[in-house]
Structure 1
């Protein structure tokens, strides 16, 4: 770099040199001011932003004076020869704040970023060695954590972003060094990076690859095991693609790493762009400046907060701008309404994280159940993405913090009525306070709706309407819609009506800009036909965040809800956000609720609310009968009535669409009644939750149901709610917690004399014991559950118990009894119409018949099961069945088909993130290779399977893999190990196979 008078270091402790002599900058506050201005990169920082960053939400009264004093002393230090009354060349006063002129100083950070950009170019040109050297040179400029000597700024977002930038740079350097075969030279740096990020999967995978490349395979294996245990214990997730790929390379003994799976889906969650958006050119320009620049590996995560009064158009601005720049964020656009001012509780960070992680293709079974874990996983996945995150209608800063991504290419846009001082002070947010439109913009908005000619003809009256609407976009849109619906009236007539309303309202609330909105509401509301205005009032009873046409028809008792909703949308009193689905602005919902209370009797309100609740319960009951008829549920007595057409077409899709509303109804009923609705609806959804694993919604529904049941003291309701919480714990792999909940539910069911519930709970309790390896205890509970289901005449309970007994007998080696139980379960599942249960038991029966030597019959059963799993979209079941079918085809001599099915099964098992399923399919693939004479491939696959299965603790397939490996390698020790494992676990069929393998190896 060319020498200049002033040189500044921020990559480490803050140090400043003037003509090669280091300066003493003085107290920490003064150093912090200079550090902030350097990190601003030449952009001006307002005094308020500097005060917020230095003192947070409680600055001293003298904060501005202290700030000015710091700047004065810095100017003297940096420009000692400057005349006292002349302007500063280094720290000029800009627009009410201060800036550091980049041209007047030399800073280390831009130089480092220039080296990184040069390295990027080299890498694109295929010059990996040169790129590695440049990345290494850039790293040498880092002398520690940025601004390490200023603790005050340790958590400032730009400092945190610089730390992330160095991590990204180190990752690029590590990858380049590994690519040129220099693992030994980069090992120390990668050990440091991995220790600093114990839960960061790419950093850990990179270190595993480095140990592997340096010839330290044992250390690499040990590190993988430690990382996996840490992920499972602290995050509740299994390793992702990068760790699995590094592990697979170790198992392959030096084979090249498979390339990571491509991102199959890019989230596109933005709402529709608001029509006729007008004005806000200044704010749009400011937002444009925040878009992260391309190139480099780092930079701060851009964060902006649009704040302002209700009705000012915050959401419209945010959504309009997001659509304008969405192509700059190729890795996705995320959107969430945090319901900061909607009825009911605001959205939790965990609720939003669950939706975001699902959009990032995290399987339902791997979605974390707590905010901290979910946030950590979200940040990890977003690290190298260029994505836009729009968080709308925020109530509090703590809703936002867990939703901030780590990727320097990301931008977060927040809308809120609150000033969001915490985001500005501690996260470096750029705040845009949205006021009213200026008069010209307000007239332009009216002209977009009414036409320029009309506004030109009555310009003076139009200007008065704009003023009476306080230049608020929401009020202006409603006024324009009202005028458009009555083109025979002039703008002057409308302004007279609006003026009357404003003057009356002003007598009670002088100076409140919301008067304009309420008056506009009144005029639009009074213009509605009687039936439409009644519908508008009743919409305030919908507890969820949106509403469908069919639900509104039930609420109002009218078959004409669709046209009336369209009329309300045309008047901007509701908004259509998807086909046949609408939602309110929260101000309009409150207005509608006020009108409802004023016009409708408590009896009519209760009747409408009851109709909606009963419709939802009837719809879920019918969906449950179609989607999971075998699942035990509380008995329901719902009056006959209409059900949604979508339930009959695809019950699971309807449940997914309405889930937010259903959980809102449950929480609403638990809070204000009727309480039975809460536990009945939650229990009817338990089967859907079991299949979809929507853990956040499941816990919310079950907790609300238990609260309502405990309040009323109904023993059956209490048992059902505990049963649901037990099932949730079971599906999360928390077997001890599940056993505790199941035991409590069983005691309550016995106390109530509820035989059907006892049978269901015993069945699931048996599954918890089975998963824990306690086969005799599991069999005893399955048998007792079967007996109780028979006594109660419950075919679905019998089917579940029989299938579970089949599993236990299979693992205990009693194949004839296993086949008998599977066949009996299959007949009952077919009788009750459960395709889900039919597919599982067909696959299990096929596996048993294959083991009994009935290979052709097994292949037919498994092919039928595969078809059903695919129809149901059960990908985990499909992967498992593909592996089993591959084994059957192998024994039938159809090796090409066997290989195809095994490979398809392995790919699918890997995608679903099921280690046990992947291990089983690997065993099948290994046996196909062995049968085809590819001994080396067979041995490699058996070893991969063993590594996975030992991690998951699944002993049956582990013993199966051990037997195959022993036969393939002729290893007597492994054969005896498999025999001992099978004998300890009571796996009769495997014990016989292992004994045969031992005998064959001894003979050889």
Structure 2
């Protein structure tokens, strides 16, 4: 490799990359803004490739699936170009990249040229495993703990496009296994108190995983928290009975028995490495408010102070008085007194749209506290409890801006005595003062001297001194209200040729009501200032400003404004409005209103009802077309209601578009449910279901699904009601709330039947069957798959028949009905061959081969599996190839071909690890362990079985777990393991495995 010699030169590591959590990059110690989600996804994929090159086609497939836009390669190359500029700012323009080189028609991130957290963590885990094998449990616990602390949440948590990528899912399983090993090691050295927080997190993440719950129960017991341990056992037992219909298994029962045979607060959560810093930028030219600032200063903790109860302050006052400016200015002034973070949320109390929900804000706060997206609670009570727990020992500042009332604020109050909460509201917040001890600060207008000083800071002191009397008059005409003064200053700054005296004259005559009003009326002062800014705009910009009041969300992009107004000059006009301080640009090409300006725009709306209706319809249809186009690219397999609007242009980066517009889409769905058209609510929700499934955006998912349900119930449309219930059921399924999912799937099924909607019935039955199958309720799963098969036959859809037949075969295999399974696989094969699906044919050949092997037809099984393996390889299905290699290895063992068996098992494990599918890796480990077991390699077989069990328990797949337990018991002669396998097989109805486990128990007893 002579041409690679230039890459061997030493490169000092100046770039640091974090993938274990949100994707973050530091260059020479300073964090780099990577830009849009698509660019972040490209970097994330290349880092997870482990230094290996990814071809452009592989990257395109990962980013866009099987329907990439025509410009996909160009978009990809643009992302790479920008990444190179960000990571190597000093690199000559035409020189090769040392960090992100072009390799063999693709790209790679050179792991030796950057510092990446993932290999560091894996190195710690490997070192810990070695220490544990050497009997150094204390050292292993310390190393595992360091690995846990370096893991800051879900891998690539802020890149939803990759949420379901195999490598990301594999890393999630890796983290769960790490938490389990860390917990076991800490319990072994008697440090239960120190690991409780991590075990609480692991148990919350896996509410139906008995080993995780048993581990937490043992930790509470050893930490002296016996009452908590008893409550946990009762809660878990009730959950298992309600969700799965089973009693606790042997491991959980053993932990409970130890508790029966035989203090108290949880330790403080470990502080997050990443400190939240959410404050907006300081308001320019802040002036006055010395008294109010002094009061706030008294509430803030002193450096080195211990802190008492949570400090609360409520800044109240009229609109435009500068409440937000005061809160943000003071927060910046004292932020160093809050080393554990500064949190900020605009509660949208008077923004014209729907106020922010407590759950919405809690979700953002918990994400800032590095709670992974898939663990964010979907209800306010749970989210608030988790937030209070995480804030218990933090010294943090929480700014809750523009609140509606006390009820909106109450769930957002932390519990930590080192915290301070600053609320701004027009409401007097009497409940916050009376029941929570808040210090109320009522903000009036500025005094005349402060108002003049603010004007001088905004316009320049010399200009104000030159026209002092006129400036004084302007402050009075603005009623000394900060918002009015800032708008007046903006008008004067935009027209430096216009004197302050001239502007004062305009103010005096600008509103004829002013002469009749009580002097100092703030609302008139603000409206007069707005009138002057508005009147100075061109007519087309005034129209755009008025139509913006129709937007239901808190922000909007340029393209959406073009659709709303029917003008291709929206970007230019929005810039003009931002320059006049009538809208605010808060992100590139994204704008929002101050709540007073939104109301003012609505008051100015003079368009006819027909024009208003047309504008809203254009906006709704644009959002619907965009979501529909994205759905066709990102999740075309998901069943959806067809749209009655014409196809629109496909977003260049559909996942990025959905992420950017999600807040607006949810707001449109909610607005449509309240004000119509009702169909928009349920069509948007239905089209977004696939995106929510992939991205786990549970808060927005619930909001849109409930909006759809409300709209559908009001309208009475049966298909819409079925669709909304289907979405809520999928949400419950993803949350592991199987009982609720079953209830909602059943409701959706009833509605689909009443509507005569056969396709929806088949789709719901398929998902319902999967819930039962995954939770071990095999007869119930079989019944749903059978009914789905009937409906597919009635509808004449061979693909649906093939899927249902294959699923039925899997259920019968797990129930021990080998002949029935084989019959269904043969029928599925005919359907798949009839529709030309080599993918489906390969899967069912491999499944049939496995079944025939279990029936003793070893030679036939070898032929079937070999055919399936060839088809999997032709189709490029590496997961299927890995699974089939493991099955062939088992067949070769029975045929006496031990060397071939070992080669196939090892190759299957290698492929399974490359695909990043935890269950596939677990099954491959079981196959390899079985080969070692039959070859007499006892120690290696035990090691592989145990590795498999760790992975399979994390995935929650009981069938291969029981299979592995039986194998392990056979090698170790451990009667407890054999009995555990028997109990699990009994609970799930795995009849064939039950016979094997029972035989293992008897064999060990006799020995």
Query: Does TM-score exceed 0.5, indicating one fold?
Result: yes
Structure 1 pair 490/785, CA: closer, same or farther in 2 (3 Å)?
Answer: same
- Segments of structure 2 that go 5 or more residues without pairing to the other structure are 1-185, 245-251, 260-266, 855-860, 892-899
Task: Please give the residue correspondences for 1:218-237 in structure 2 after superposition, counting only pairs within 5 Å.
Answer: 225=233
- Secondary structure of 1:968's counterpart equals helix
| Structure 1 residue 801: Cα displacement | 4.5
Structure 1 pair 826/574, CA: closer, same or farther in 2 (3 Å)?
Answer: farther
Structure 1 pair 296/277, CA: closer, same or farther in 2 (3 Å)?
Answer: closer
- Secondary structure of 1:336's counterpart equals strand
Distance in structure 2 (CA, Å) of the matches to 1:527 and 1:508: 24
- Segments of structure 1 that go 5 or more residues without pairing to the other structure are 1-177, 237-243, 252-257, 870-877, 910-915
Partner residue, 1:709: 712
Give the root-mean-square deviation of aligned CA atoms: 5.4
Structure 1 pair 311/983, CA: closer, same or farther in 2 (3 Å)?
Answer: closer
Query: Bigger CA drift: 884-893 or 451-460?
Result: 884-893
* C-alpha contact (below 8 Å) 1:898/1:928 kept by paired residues: no
1:695 aligns with 2:704: no
1:602 aligns with 2:609: yes
Distance in structure 2 (CA, Å) of the matches to 1:861 and 1:463: 82
Distance in structure 2 (CA, Å) of the matches to 1:928 and 1:220: 44
1:492 aligns with 2:492: no
Partner residue, 2:566: 557
Distance in structure 1 (CA, Å) of the matches to 2:532 and 2:364: 39
Distance in structure 1 (CA, Å) of the matches to 2:234 and 2:615: 57
| Structure 1 residue 609: Cα displacement | 0.7
- Secondary structure of 1:648's counterpart equals coil
Query: Bigger CA drift: 798-807 or 326-335?
Result: 798-807
| Structure 1 residue 733: Cα displacement | 3.6
Query: Bigger CA drift: 823-832 or 696-705?
Result: 823-832
Distance in structure 1 (CA, Å) of the matches to 2:914 and 2:728: 37
1:584 aligns with 2:582: no
Partner residue, 2:939: 933
Distance in structure 2 (CA, Å) of the matches to 1:800 and 1:995: 33
- Secondary structure of 1:613's counterpart equals helix
Aligned length: 770
| Structure 1 residue 783: Cα displacement | 3.5
Q: Which has the larger radius of gyration?
A: 1
Structure 1 pair 341/975, CA: closer, same or farther in 2 (3 Å)?
Answer: same
Structure 1 pair 406/983, CA: closer, same or farther in 2 (3 Å)?
Answer: closer
Partner residue, 1:638: 645
| Structure 1 residue 685: Cα displacement | 1.7
Partner residue, 2:320: 311
| Structure 1 residue 264: Cα displacement | 5.8
Distance in structure 2 (CA, Å) of the matches to 1:420 and 1:406: 19
| 2:781 counterpart (778, 783, 799) | 778
Partner residue, 1:479: 488
Partner residue, 1:741: 744
- Secondary structure of 1:305's counterpart equals strand
Distance in structure 1 (CA, Å) of the matches to 2:845 and 2:594: 51
Structure 1 pair 457/204, CA: closer, same or farther in 2 (3 Å)?
Answer: farther
Task: Please give the residue correspondences for 1:423-502 in structure 2 after superposition, counting only pairs within 5 Å.
Answer: 423-501=432-510
Structure 1 pair 455/510, CA: closer, same or farther in 2 (3 Å)?
Answer: closer
* C-alpha contact (below 8 Å) 1:212/1:220 kept by paired residues: no
| Structure 1 residue 996: Cα displacement | 7.8
| Structure 1 residue 549: Cα displacement | 1.1
- Secondary structure of 1:392's counterpart equals strand
Partner residue, 2:981: 978
Structure 1 pair 787/587, CA: closer, same or farther in 2 (3 Å)?
Answer: same
Distance in structure 2 (CA, Å) of the matches to 1:939 and 1:994: 15
- Secondary structure of 2:442's counterpart equals strand
| Structure 1 residue 592: Cα displacement | 0.2
Query: Bigger CA drift: 535-544 or 721-730?
Result: 721-730
For residues 929-986 of structure 1, give each alpha carbon's deviation from its aligned partner in whole angstroms, at most 9, with x where no partner exists.
987826886787688789879xx7x642442242133123213564466357547745
Partner residue, 1:671: 674
Distance in structure 1 (CA, Å) of the matches to 2:518 and 2:1001: 92
1:629 aligns with 2:636: yes
| Structure 1 residue 266: Cα displacement | 4.0
Distance in structure 1 (CA, Å) of the matches to 2:214 and 2:304: 25
Normalised by the size of structure 2, how large is the TM-score?
0.65
* C-alpha contact (below 8 Å) 2:678/2:712 kept by paired residues: yes
Structure 1 pair 260/228, CA: closer, same or farther in 2 (3 Å)?
Answer: farther
| 1:760 counterpart (745, 758, 763) | 763
For residues 84-104 of structure 1, give each alpha carbon's deviation from its aligned partner in whole angstroms, at most 9, with x where no partner exists.
xxxxxxxxxxxxxxxxxxxxx
1:648 aligns with 2:652: yes
Partner residue, 1:396: 405
Distance in structure 2 (CA, Å) of the matches to 1:688 and 1:180: 43
- Secondary structure of 2:652's counterpart equals helix
| Structure 1 residue 608: Cα displacement | 0.5
| Structure 1 residue 507: Cα displacement | 1.6
| Structure 1 residue 325: Cα displacement | 3.9
Task: Please give the residue correspondences for 1:505-904 in structure 2 after superposition, counting only pairs within 5 Å.
Answer: 505-507=514-516, 511-596=520-605, 599-642=606-649, 647-649=651-653, 651-789=654-792, 791-792=794-795, 801=804, 804-805=807-808, 807-809=810-812, 811-812=814-815, 892=903
Structure 1 pair 486/717, CA: closer, same or farther in 2 (3 Å)?
Answer: same
| 1:387 counterpart (376, 393, 396) | 396
For residues 739-776 of structure 1, give each alpha carbon's deviation from its aligned partner in whole angstroms, at most 9, with x where no partner exists.
33333332332232222112112212222332453323
Partner residue, 1:135: none
Partner residue, 1:158: none
Which is bigger in relative contact order (C-alpha 8 A, separation at least 6)?
A: 2
| Structure 1 residue 589: Cα displacement | 0.4
Structure 1 pair 501/780, CA: closer, same or farther in 2 (3 Å)?
Answer: same
Distance in structure 2 (CA, Å) of the matches to 1:546 and 1:653: 16
Distance in structure 2 (CA, Å) of the matches to 1:828 and 1:450: 78
Distance in structure 1 (CA, Å) of the matches to 2:474 and 2:835: 67
For residues 433-485 of structure 1, give each alpha carbon's deviation from its aligned partner in whole angstroms, at most 9, with x where no partner exists.
22223334333333333333322221221121112111212111111111122
* C-alpha contact (below 8 Å) 2:312/2:421 kept by paired residues: yes
| Structure 1 residue 634: Cα displacement | 1.1
- Secondary structure of 1:933's counterpart equals helix
* C-alpha contact (below 8 Å) 1:946/1:958 kept by paired residues: yes
Structure 1 pair 543/898, CA: closer, same or farther in 2 (3 Å)?
Answer: same
| Structure 1 residue 524: Cα displacement | 0.3
